[in-house]
Amino acid sequence: MDEARRKIEETVLASTFPGAFRLTQDAKGAARLEVEVTVPGGGSYGLLITAEPDYPSSMPEVYLVRPLVLRDARGRELLSISPSHEMHLLKPRNRFLRLCHYKPEAWHPSVTFYKVVLKSLLWLTAYENHLQSGRPITDYLGT
Amino acid sequence: MRAPFHYAILASQLERLRSEARRRRLRLVEGVAFVADGESFHLFHEKPSFPCAGLPLPCFFVIAEASDLSGSLMEKLEAMGARPESPVLVLSPAGTAEPFAFPAGSPQERFPVSVLSPEKDLASRGGAILEGGLLREKKVLIVGLGSFGSVAAVELAKSGVGHFVLADNDRLEPGNLCRHACSVADVGRRKTLAVRDLVLARNPDAQVETFEGDVNVEGTWLRQAARECDLILCMTGTARSRFNVNAACVGAGRSAIYARAVTRAEGGDVFRYRPGGPCLACLFSGGGVPGAPEVSSARDAAEAAADYAPPGYAESLVQPGLANDIAPLVGMAVKLSLLELAPKDQPLWRKLGEDLEAPFYVWANRREGLYEEYPPLGYNFNKSAILRWYGVRVARDSSCLACGLG
- Cα B173 to chain centroid distance, Å, stands at 19
d(CA B138, CA B52): 26
Distance of residue B285 Cα from the nearest chain A Cα, in angstroms: 7
Between these two residues, A56 and B72, which has the higher pLDDT value? A56
Tell me how long chain B is. Answer: 406
The strand ranges marked E within B26-79 are 28-36, 40-44, 55-63
A interface mutation test: which of B308, B313, B403 has the most A CBs within 10 A?
A: B308
Beta bridge partners, A64, equal A47, A97
CA distances from B98 to B3, B66, B114 (A): 21, 10, 10
* Domain coordinates in residue numbering, chain B: 6-116, 122-392
Beta bridge partners of B140: B164, B231
CB-CB contact of B165 with B142 (8 Å): yes
Question: Could you tell me which chain A residue has the CA closest to the CA of B246?
Answer: A57
Chain B residues whose C-beta is within 8 A of a chain A C-beta are: 216-217, 219, 239-241, 243-244, 246-247, 281, 284-285, 288, 292-293, 303-304, 306-309, 397, 399-402, 405
Q: What is the pLDDT of residue B381?
A: 81
Nearest CB partner across the interface for B285, out of A85, A91, A108: A108
Which of A57, A98, A100 is closest, CB to CB, to B240?
A: A57
pLDDT of residue B380: 79
CB-nearest to A110 from B217, B285, B293 is B285
B401 and A106 in contact by Cβ < 8 A?
A: no
Sign of CA dihedral B178, B179, B182, B186: negative
pLDDT of residue B23: 87
Q: What is the pLDDT of residue B164?
A: 98
pLDDT tens string B195-208: 999 999 999 989 99
Q: Is A104 on the interface with B (CB under 8 A)?
A: yes
Of B288, B306, B399, the CB nearest to A100: B306
B216: chain A residues, CB-CB within 8 Å: 52, 54, 57-58
Cβ-defined contact of B247 to A91 (cutoff 8 Å)? no
Q: Which of B81, B160, B181 is nearest to B348 (CA)?
A: B160
The rounded mean pLDDT for chain B is: 89
Q: Helix, strand or coil for residue B406?
A: coil
Model pLDDT for residues B292-337, shown as the tens digit of each residue: 777 767 677 666 666 777 666 666 666 678 899 999 999 999 999 9
**Do the beta carbons of residue B297 and residue B174 sit within 8 Å?**
no
Coil vs helix vs strand at B108: coil
- pLDDT, one tens digit for every residue, chain B (406 residues): 566 789 999 999 999 999 988 888 878 999 999 999 989 999 999 999 888 999 999 999 999 888 888 778 888 888 998 999 999 999 988 778 899 999 999 988 999 999 998 877 776 766 667 776 789 999 999 999 999 999 999 999 999 999 999 999 999 999 889 899 999 999 999 999 999 999 999 999 899 999 999 999 999 999 999 999 999 999 998 999 999 999 999 999 999 999 999 888 999 999 999 999 999 999 998 776 767 777 767 677 666 666 777 666 666 666 678 899 999 999 999 999 999 999 888 888 878 899 999 999 999 999 998 899 999 999 978 888 999 999 999 999 999 999 986 4
How far apart, in whole angstroms, are the C-alpha atoms of residue B33 and residue B11?
A: 15
* Chain centre to alpha carbon of residue B276: 28
Q: Write out chain B residues lying below 8 Å of A91, CB-based.
A: 307
Please tell me the predicted confidence (pLDDT) of residue B119.
Answer: 77
Q: How far is CA A42 from the centre of its chain?
A: 17
Interatomic CA distance for residues A130 and A136, integer angstroms: 6
DSSP B307-366: TTSPTTHHHHH-----HHHHHHHHHHHHHHHHHHHS-TTSHHHHHHHHHT--SEEEEESS
- CA dihedral in degrees (B303, B306, B312, B313; nearest 10)? -100
Q: Measure in Å the smallest separation between the Cα of A99 and chain B Cα atoms.
A: 11
Residue of B nearest to A85 (CA): B308
Domains of chain A, with CATH numbers?
A: 3-141 (3.10.110)
d(CA B135, CA B56): 33
Q: Is the pLDDT of residue A119 over 80?
A: yes
- Between A and B, how many residue pairs show a Cβ–Cβ distance under 8 A? 74
Give yes or no for A58 touching B (CB within 8 A).
yes
Return the sign of the alpha-carbon dihedral for residues A119, A121, A122, A124: positive
Of B243, B257, B254, nearest to B148 by C-alpha is: B257
Tell me the mean pLDDT in the region A125-137: 94
- B400/A110 CB distance under 8 A: yes
Are B307 and A90 an interchain contact pair (Cβ–Cβ within 8 Å)? yes
Nearest CA of chain B to the CA of A105: how many Å?
7
User: What value does the mean pLDDT of chain A take?
Assistant: 94
Across the interface, do B303 and A104 touch by the CB < 8 Å criterion? yes
Residue B376 distance to chain A (closest CA, Å): 29
Positive or negative torsion for Cα B299, B305, B308, B310:
negative
From chain B, the residues in CB contact with A110 under 8 A are 281, 284-285, 397, 399-402
- Round to whole Å and give the CA distance between B179 and B152: 12
Chain A hits for B399, CB-CB cut-off 8 Å, are: 110
CA dist B107 and A84 (Å) reads 80
pLDDT for B314 equals 67
Residue contact B288–A89, C-beta within 8 A: no
pLDDT value, residue B66 = 82
| CATH class given for the domain over B6-116 | alpha beta
Three-state DSSP string of chain A: CCHHHHHHHHHHHHHHCCCCEEEEECCCCCEEEEEEEECCCCCEEEEEEEECCCCCCCCCEEEEEECCCCECCCCCEHHHHCCECCCCEEEEECCEEEECCCCHHHCCCCCCHHHHHHHHHHHHHHHHHHHHHCCCCHHHHCC
Q: Are B13 and B115 in contact (CB under 8 A)?
A: no
pLDDT the model gives residue B294: 75
pLDDT of residue B321: 82
Q: Which of B216, B284, B304 sits opposite A108 (nearest CB)?
A: B284
Q: Is B24 exposed, middle or buried (0-12, 13-18, 19+ CB in 10 A)?
A: exposed
For residue B406, what pLDDT is reported? Answer: 47
**Residues B168/B155, Cβ–Cβ less than 8 Å:** no
Min distance B282 CA to chain A CA atoms (Å): 8
- Among A134, A140, A123, A138, which Cα is nearest to A42's? A123
Question: Chain B contact for A108, CB < 8 A?
Answer: yes
* A100 interfacial to chain B (CB closer than 8 Å): yes
Fold of the CATH domain B122-392:
Rossmann fold (3.40.50)
Pairing of strands B207-211, B163-167: parallel
- pLDDT of A37 above 60: yes
B256 to chain A: which residues are within 8 Å by CB? Answer: none
Determine whether the interchain pair A109/B246 forms a contact, defined as Cβ–Cβ distance below 8 Å.
Answer: yes
CA B112 to chain centre: 31
Measure Cα distances from A28 to A55, A58, B162, B397 in Å.
12, 15, 35, 30
Say if the Cβ atoms of A109 and B402 lie within 8 Å: yes
> Is A55 in contact with A1 (CB distance < 8 Å)?
yes
Q: Which residue of B has its CA nearest to A4?
A: B405
Q: Which residues lie below 8 Å from residue A125, measured CB to CB, with a gap of 6+?
A: A39, A40, A42, A140
- Residue B246 has a pLDDT of 98
Nearest CA in chain B to A88: B308
